[in-house]
Structure 1
Amino acid sequence: IATFYVRKIKKKRFSEKPNLTWTKSNALHVLLTKEILLLFQKFWGPQIDPRLAQYLTNFLFGAGQQKSPTVDFNRFAELYVYNVRGTVEERMIVIYNCLGMDYNEDVELPYQLLKEYCESIVSTYMKMLKSSSSKRVRSWQDKGFRASASNVQALGEAVAATVGGDLDSPQHHCTAAQLSKWLQTNVLLRQLAELVYVNLYGINKKPGDESPAPLPPAAPSLLPAADGLEAMPDYPAVIDLSHIVWVNSHLPHKYQHKWRFLFSTNIHGESFSTMTGRIIDQGPSVIIVEDSSGYIFGGFATAAWGFGPNFTGTDEAFLFTCAPKMRVYPATSYNDHYQYLNHHTKTLPNGLLMGGQFQFGGIWVNAEPFGEGASAESCSTFRGYRRLSKEPSFRIRSLEVWGVGDKPALDKDDDERDMSILDTNPEAKAILDMAGRTRHSEGLREDPPL
């Protein structure tokens, strides 16, 4: 990092020549003046939230009366190292210092400041996505998916809300012990911070590239690739990029790389039969519902959907909300009522259910008439659950289903073993029949496997 920035400065690639002094002994020491910081802010400008820029200034130069006119290069390097590869204590130091406080185990951190810090990280990450030329990012943006300011703020709030206490009524301050536990368990914040600082420090630059232009972000691993939207010029996007990042970050890692579009009421119409025909045997999936009040929620189904009288799925399943707040409710293992699907039966409910009991599900989508749904007040299948929709019974404004991960390979052994080349060409069979020719391979088919 030292070599990279010193080379840029020596070659005068910035618009102004900075006031710089540096020496080289056992280690390289660089003094970065405020003038250089302003140049870095110009360099980072399109990709950084203004609040984060101020937090970085606090970390590098201090805050209040303790503010220094210069910063040692080691301090500049620590900002990157602590955020990307740092221990929990080092990351705590970054947060305290960025918020203008000295780290002390006895000092409580105001929750409002922590929430704004998380929002600045999320906002910067989204700015990087918007400026990216990555095909993965473009696959969403070209179909109308955006990152609105309100949803970016909601994602930042969701990241901060898990610091302790009631998710919907957080305490006014958090202790150092709570912050330490939060940093150990909050995988999403760590991933966001790592991507942000890798980009800000230009670590993903190709060797020899000295251009001071804004950098494209590193591989946006938090955003999956979009598969199946290519043939739709005008996709009516219901969810936001912030929603996708939120839900995707809670999926098992093996499913996070790709979302496969399966069904949307806005595209395929309001038909339960059409929906089930498009989602059955498609592997694990995410169902997303928007009710008539604008609440957006859904669930992750771990098993492929299929008709049957029994519940299926595993304890990796979860329910979630995207609006008005982003929350996730993981499985309790109290029961295994993760997912259920049935249609055209007389003795069992016809519809789609996730969690809870018949008539009291976390998510219930009625088969007939399609478009009606319900979300119970309580659901023992998922921990911390609260009703997902605004009202217990609701009208569906929009419903989408996305397969996650790679499409499962279907078992075609039986069909393939029982086919000859003429089976795939009915016109050729008809011509042979008309000519009175014998199809010698008709009775010579491979026996099915035992």
Structure 2
Amino acid sequence: MGNTSKKLAAKCTLLTKDEQKYVAATFRAASKNSERIREDDLIVSGKVDAVLLEKFWGPQIDPRLAQYLSNFLFGSGQQKTPSVEFNRFAELYVYNVRGTVDERMIVTYNSLGKDYNESVELPYQLIKEYCESVASTYIKMVKASRSKRARIWLDKGFRGRASHVQALGEAVAATVGGDLDSPHHHCTSDQLSKWLETNTLLKQLAELVFVNLYGIDRRGGDESPVQLPPTMPSLLPLPEGLESMPDYPAFIDLSHIAWLNSYLPQKHQHKWRFLFSSHIHGESFATMAGRILDQGASIIIIEDNNGYIFGGYAAQPWSMGPSFYGGEDSFLFSLAPRMRAYPTTGFNDHYQYINHHTKTLPNGLIMGGQFEFCGIWLNADPFGEGSCAESCSTYRGYRRLSKDATFHVRSLEVWGVGDKPVIETDEDDREVSVLDTNPEAKAILEMAGKTRHSEGLREPPSL
């Protein structure tokens, strides 16, 4: 790094030593080795100059985000300046990657062409478009990635389609305040502050985007061309089990995966294990059950005959039985036409149910609700028939997931999430007699004056 970069880096105490060289190098490329960046060098006709900054921003940035960054760096309206110094350029990176809520408020207001003022309300439509621009840039970076993780998803037909990217941005923005399905037209600074504090997905998207844009550590990693901090979960999980599927029929999108993965417990975000697909393994409830039982936490994703995509996260392993069970971390979700998640209410524990070949109980799979009124019901016979109730007391804010109350499955797949659980076996299991687990039978033998032939041949079981 030359003297110019050292002088620039020395002017900014916000950056770590490792960050200084990368941010300074990006600044030098944009400023043509001077101490200021002119807007004409960075933005051309409202778009990033792909020739000048192709190595850094050109092919990776959504044009709308480029304009928002221009607003932050150079200002807007009468306060607009023709050039910007290194410190302001560094602030844009630092505030987005590890900024406080107040610093991120400044970024949001300034990027949308407003001064940060507690009395100023922001139009919801602007916030939504800002979120869409960040989400779009993230998906562009994933598509350009050479990492193994991203390439497996892409090679198996998962795409970042514009409509789904837009839905991802809308889902992120919808939590800013008010009803998720009818947000307010304007957002107060208090609503925006709470939203920035609690919306972890927006923070992760912004962090990944700006780490990439500023060229931090381009030696390689899990997301696009950068190495992520070890404490930050990846938005895209590592897919396990797809490599051997030559004709995998992908029906969900990269945007769906990133959004859904962000709602999983952090311990399950690093890996998805492919367990079942109705297209690959056939339309058989018995086959599906055989492949998903005792596989740890999992997600079921269903596409109905109307193109609605929805499902549920089961926090506990699937296990045949006559009763509901599960964990309060479970949730139901919708992926299309909109992305929504419905967490548990605590009203009841009807999180999971699966049964087959019974005469007096329902044969099928249930998530939420109760018999005959289920959040999700999948019939065992005939396989492929299902229903979603109008309401479900198990999950908060629940709206019917399928387009119609009853539906036919077009596509269904199940993924185990996180590492496969290790089933521990007792080393002494092979030495335990049936009578050891049946004290009544043992007592009957003893009253009859009989003993077990193996009684004197075995060591007593360890305590």
Q: Secondary structure at the match of 1:249?
A: helix
Whole-angstrom CA distance in 2 between matches of 1:378 and 1:411: 40
Whole-angstrom CA distance in 1 between matches of 2:71 and 2:216: 23
Task: Name the Cα RMSD after superposition.
Answer: 2.5
Whole-angstrom CA distance in 2 between matches of 1:327 and 1:9: 38
What's the CA shift string for 1:350-375, capped at 9, x where partnerless?
Answer: 11000011111100000111110000
Aligned length: 408
Q: Secondary structure at the match of 1:178?
A: helix
Instruction: Name 2:241's counterpart in structure 1.
Output: 228
Is 1:274 matched with 2:295? no
For 2:85, the aligned partner's letter is D
Find the partner of 2:112 among 99, 110, 122: 99
Instruction: Name 1:422's counterpart in structure 2.
Output: none
Aligned identity (percent) is 70
Is 1:31 matched with 2:36? yes
Instruction: Name 1:60's counterpart in structure 2.
Output: 73
For 1:329, the aligned partner's letter is Y
Instruction: Name 1:131's counterpart in structure 2.
Output: 144
Whole-angstrom CA distance in 1 between matches of 2:270 and 2:398: 27
Whole-angstrom CA distance in 2 between matches of 1:370 and 1:6: 56
Asked if structure 2 preserves the Cα contact closer than 8 Å seen for 1:145 and 1:239, the reply is yes
Is 1:255 matched with 2:264? no
Instruction: Name 2:326's counterpart in structure 1.
Output: 313
Whole-angstrom CA distance in 2 between matches of 1:47 and 1:447: 67
In structure 2, do the counterparts of structure 1 residues 17 and 379 end up closer, same or farther at CA, with 3 Å as the change threshold?
Answer: closer
Q: Secondary structure at the match of 2:56?
A: helix
Asked if structure 2 preserves the Cα contact closer than 8 Å seen for 1:198 and 1:218, the reply is no
Asked if structure 1 preserves the Cα contact closer than 8 Å seen for 2:23 and 2:216, the reply is no
Question: Structure 2: where are the runs of 5+ without partners?
Answer: 1-7, 10-19, 43-48, 432-456
> Aligned-pair distance for 1:134?
0.7
Instruction: Name 1:72's counterpart in structure 2.
Output: 85
For 2:306, the aligned partner's letter is S
Whole-angstrom CA distance in 2 between matches of 1:231 and 1:60: 48
Whole-angstrom CA distance in 2 between matches of 1:364 and 1:354: 7
In structure 2, do the counterparts of structure 1 residues 297 and 447 end up closer, same or farther at CA, with 3 Å as the change threshold?
Answer: farther
Asked if structure 2 preserves the Cα contact closer than 8 Å seen for 1:417 and 1:448, the reply is no
> Aligned-pair distance for 1:42?
6.5
Instruction: Name 2:317's counterpart in structure 1.
Output: 304
> Aligned-pair distance for 1:32?
1.7
Is 1:291 matched with 2:304? yes
> Aligned-pair distance for 1:84?
1.1
What's the CA shift string for 1:299-346, capped at 9, x where partnerless?
Answer: 000010011011111110000000000000001111100000011111
Asked if structure 1 preserves the Cα contact closer than 8 Å seen for 2:112 and 2:126, the reply is yes
Whole-angstrom CA distance in 2 between matches of 1:271 and 1:135: 33
> Aligned-pair distance for 1:65?
2.5
Give the alignment's TM-score, normalised by structure 2. Answer: 0.83
Q: 1:125-204 alignment to 2 at 5 Å?
A: 125-204=138-217
In structure 2, do the counterparts of structure 1 residues 146 and 172 end up closer, same or farther at CA, with 3 Å as the change threshold?
Answer: same
> Aligned-pair distance for 1:204?
1.8
Instruction: Name 2:405's counterpart in structure 1.
Output: 392
For 2:82, the aligned partner's letter is P
Asked if structure 2 preserves the Cα contact closer than 8 Å seen for 1:199 and 1:218, the reply is no
In structure 2, do the counterparts of structure 1 residues 85 and 345 end up closer, same or farther at CA, with 3 Å as the change threshold?
Answer: same
Is 1:4 matched with 2:13? no
For 2:32, the aligned partner's letter is P
Q: Secondary structure at the match of 1:146?
A: coil
Question: Structure 1: where are the runs of 5+ without partners?
Answer: 21-29, 208-214, 419-443
Whole-angstrom CA distance in 1 between matches of 2:86 and 2:58: 21
Asked if structure 1 preserves the Cα contact closer than 8 Å seen for 2:219 and 2:225, the reply is no
What's the CA shift string for 1:409-450, capped at 9, x where partnerless?
Answer: 1234469957xxxxxxxxxxxxxxxxxxxxxxxxx9998766
Q: Secondary structure at the match of 1:222?
A: coil
Find the partner of 1:345 among 358, 364, 373: 358
Find the partner of 2:32 among 10, 15, 18: 18
Whole-angstrom CA distance in 2 between matches of 1:206 and 1:325: 36
For 1:382, the aligned partner's letter is Y
Asked if structure 2 preserves the Cα contact closer than 8 Å seen for 1:255 and 1:405, the reply is yes
> Aligned-pair distance for 1:8?
4.3
Whole-angstrom CA distance in 2 between matches of 1:155 and 1:7: 32
Give the alignment's TM-score, normalised by structure 1. Answer: 0.86
Instruction: Name 1:436's counterpart in structure 2.
Output: none
In structure 2, do the counterparts of structure 1 residues 374 and 449 end up closer, same or farther at CA, with 3 Å as the change threshold?
Answer: farther
Asked if structure 2 preserves the Cα contact closer than 8 Å seen for 1:19 and 1:35, the reply is no
> Aligned-pair distance for 1:279?
0.3
Asked if structure 1 preserves the Cα contact closer than 8 Å seen for 2:303 and 2:310, the reply is yes
What's the CA shift string for 1:179-219, capped at 9, x where partnerless?
Answer: 01111110000011011111111112359xxxxxxx81444
In structure 2, do the counterparts of structure 1 residues 72 and 352 end up closer, same or farther at CA, with 3 Å as the change threshold?
Answer: same
